[in-house]
Structure 1
Amino acid sequence: MTQEAKMKNTDQVGGAGKLRALVVAPGRGCYNKEELGYLARFHSDKPAFIEAIDAYRRDLGQKPIAELDGQSKYSFKLHTPGENASALIYACAMADFMDIDRERFEIVAVTGNSMGWYIALALAGALDERGAIEVINTMGSMMSDGLIGGQMIYPEMDDSWRRDDVKTALLDEVIDEVNQEAGCELYTSIQLGGYRVLAGNEAGLTQAETRLPKLEERYPMRLYNHGAFHSPLLQEIARRGQQALPPSLFHRPNLPMVDGRGNIWSPFSCDQEMLHSYTLDHQVVAPYDFSQAMAVGVKEFAPDCVIVLGPGNTLGGPVAQTLIANQWFGWQSKQDFSDAQKLAPKLIAMGNPAQRALATGEISG
């Protein structure tokens, strides 16, 4: 790449010099029909990385991710179960992270949404390559014999992508009412920018569907093949995870990590036993506050831009909504965000081909 081209790309993301970047790893539900072939399209230059994952999975009798990614058609039955989706998403996100242009970006911290916390551990080096696939594949396969509960998502914002206190009060009221019904369990699972993800048993989720007003002909929306993540219903999964995955897999990170409580794990003060406990206990059974993780990430590390790893771009909206809530980059509404992105993108989604070029140092458009 010529010096002129490099300068052109740097200008697109907000000025000359190395840019401070907060990197965000996605969770489940981001490898969809449009992402089929993602590894083959963008990461054919990483055969050793992909083969290491596939060798691990073949030893367990699982389908290799290269084969999953190479299917001629996307299949809900094949691509969405945790034992397949988790490894696929990890491989795509980790490979994207490898492609970030370190001459243009200084990565100041990493975070992630839900399963993205496991990926963030790998990005930061708190899990080595073998440990990462072991943790992610093990936890992703925990409900291969049958899901425990489920999840649904519901908006908690107005048309300008700002918090709607009426919707917040409604969600809190519905959770309280449903839990008073015999045999029903319903919990806040994830605070996801302008959305609330709820987790519960079937009775609880059904009750919530009858009580929440229909919005945009989509919500409340069940999340297909998702268990009751980040709720007390997964106590047994947490116990099994701690038994299967020893603390020795965890290491001191090379980069700061922001978890689902907004807690920072520093390379200089990270207790591996506590990291193991949080990851495989609290993080599994308690709400995951991605909104708080993002708020801490931007306020504590003052990034010039936020890079969201692929596959897909389903996390782009929630990330933008958290930035608006914190008036980061001066954004106070969806319109502010849209206008700013057209001029000089500061939220860079690697699942978006044009924005991907900004992260990798290639020419965009």
Structure 2
Amino acid sequence: MAKETVVVVCPGRGTYNAPELGYLARHHAGSPWLVHFDAVRADAGKPTLTEMDGAKKFDPKLHPRGDVAAPLIHACAFLDFLKLDRERFEVVAVTGNSMGWYTALACAGAVSGEHGFAIADAMGMNSQKHAPGGQAVIVLAGEDWRVDAQTALAVDAACARVGVLPSIRLGGMLVVAGPEAALDALTAELPPLPRPPLRLPGHGPFHTPLMQASADAARAQLPAAWFGAPQVPLIDGRGKVWRRFESDRQALWDYTFGHQILAAYDFTAAITVACREFAPDRLVLLGPGETLGGAIGQAIVALDWLDIGSKYVFSRRQEEDPFLVAMGREAQRRLVAS
């Protein structure tokens, strides 16, 4: 039988929450890679992933913190990627959302597994180096997951008036970032929306120029020599495809620790390119969690991909024969894991 083609999606921050506590123990106990990651952190005097994942209780002040969440999420996702059944599935491209870009680099083979973890671990620390500011989520999509174009334009104009910048374009949502005072002023400027903006506690002004200190630290700490051409196509946060025989090591390093940190991350564009350029049989969202599934679904609805033109049609398709397979959802995990 011919293999099914899949585009793999790597999750970012906000995907390791209380339900995901113990994810590594449940799915990856005994993994040599987990042993290696633990040893790296122990040698650096940091708590191991096994210790943090094995906590008796999820700590809302500890586990979402960048230096904890980043290595945990990266390890869960990367080890999930290694569990894909390659006898049945061919990975035709890899992408990720925000911090998931670092995992995508490793999954696509643009960096080694060792260096991928080192990058994610370091960037968990570096992400906490920034000018004052934060993030908020604006929901643009209605109940049918469709976004009104005029509303989207009005939101962009409101953000510009108060000095808030786009941070992540996320399906039917827009994550914005900026100084706290600008975020405080934003609500009064916005047009009527399905719900008020939601501030993201503990998040910095990611993907804006306010992250310059983080970018500087990354460039000083993480060498271009670690980078190479991806072994499978890699879709970045602009929708650009990095291919094996076309990619320059220096350019990929420069994007990763430059534009990717300092400019808006367009995850919607990445999913659009994944579908239109590679036409996969399925999208596979790596764990932990499945919170990114809604944004992916909204991007699919916007494309009317496979005649999926509404939340209802997407949900019905997911029940019958899921186009989007989330490895953080046990029933769907069994469809793709070896």
Q: Following the alignment from structure 1 to structure 2, what is the Cα–Cα distance between the partners of residues 21 and 146? A: 36
Per-residue deviation, residues 189-236 of structure 1 (Å, max 9, x unmatched) = 01001100001111111111343468666x311112111110011122
Which residue number corresponds to residue 184 of structure 2?
A: 206
Which residue number corresponds to residue 40 of structure 2?
A: 56
* Alpha-carbon offset, residue 96 of structure 1: 0.7
Which residue number corresponds to residue 170 of structure 1?
A: 154
Q: Following the alignment from structure 1 to structure 2, what is the Cα–Cα distance between the partners of residues 167 and 87? A: 37
1:188 matched to 2:166: yes
* Alpha-carbon offset, residue 147 of structure 1: 7.3
> Please, which of 253, 258, 262 is the counterpart of residue 276 of structure 1?
253
> Please, which of 263, 267, 290 is the counterpart of residue 290 of structure 1?
267
Amino acid at match of 1:166: Q
Asked if structure 2 preserves the Cα contact closer than 8 Å seen for 1:147 and 1:226, the reply is: no
Which residue number corresponds to residue 144 of structure 2?
A: 160
**Aligned-residue CA RMSD in angstroms?**
1.6
Amino acid at match of 2:93: A
Judge which range, 323-332 or 83-92, deviates more.
Answer: 323-332
Which residue number corresponds to residue 349 of structure 1?
A: 326
> Please, which of 64, 81, 97 is the counterpart of residue 113 of structure 1?
97
Matches within 5 A, 1:76-95: 76-95=60-79
Shift in CA distance, 71/356, structure 1 to aligned 2, threshold 3 Å: same
* Alpha-carbon offset, residue 17 of structure 1: 3.6
Which residue number corresponds to residue 33 of structure 1?
A: 18
Q: Following the alignment from structure 1 to structure 2, what is the Cα–Cα distance between the partners of residues 143 and 336? A: 38
TM-score by length of 2: 0.96
Which residue number corresponds to residue 87 of structure 2?
A: 103
Asked if structure 1 preserves the Cα contact closer than 8 Å seen for 2:171 and 2:296, the reply is: yes
Matches within 5 A, 1:119-130: 119-130=103-114
Aligned residues between the structures: 338
Q: Following the alignment from structure 1 to structure 2, what is the Cα–Cα distance between the partners of residues 189 and 28? A: 13
Asked if structure 2 preserves the Cα contact closer than 8 Å seen for 1:131 and 1:249, the reply is: yes
Q: Following the alignment from structure 2 to structure 1, what is the Cα–Cα distance between the partners of residues 10 and 205? A: 20
Q: Following the alignment from structure 2 to structure 1, what is the Cα–Cα distance between the partners of residues 116 and 317? A: 36
Asked if structure 2 preserves the Cα contact closer than 8 Å seen for 1:147 and 1:225, the reply is: no
Moved over 6 A (4+): none
Asked if structure 2 preserves the Cα contact closer than 8 Å seen for 1:23 and 1:306, the reply is: yes
Asked if structure 1 preserves the Cα contact closer than 8 Å seen for 2:154 and 2:191, the reply is: no
> Please, which of 317, 321, 330 is the counterpart of residue 340 of structure 1?
317
TM-score by length of 1: 0.89
Amino acid at match of 1:178: V
Asked if structure 2 preserves the Cα contact closer than 8 Å seen for 1:25 and 1:309, the reply is: yes
Q: Following the alignment from structure 2 to structure 1, what is the Cα–Cα distance between the partners of residues 97 and 277? A: 18
Amino acid at match of 2:28: H
Which runs of 5 or more residues in structure 2 are unaligned?
none
> Please, which of 263, 288, 302 is the counterpart of residue 325 of structure 1?
302
Per-residue deviation, residues 300-340 of structure 1 (Å, max 9, x unmatched) = 11101100001000000111111111121221111110111
Shift in CA distance, 22/143, structure 1 to aligned 2, threshold 3 Å: closer
Amino acid at match of 1:158: G
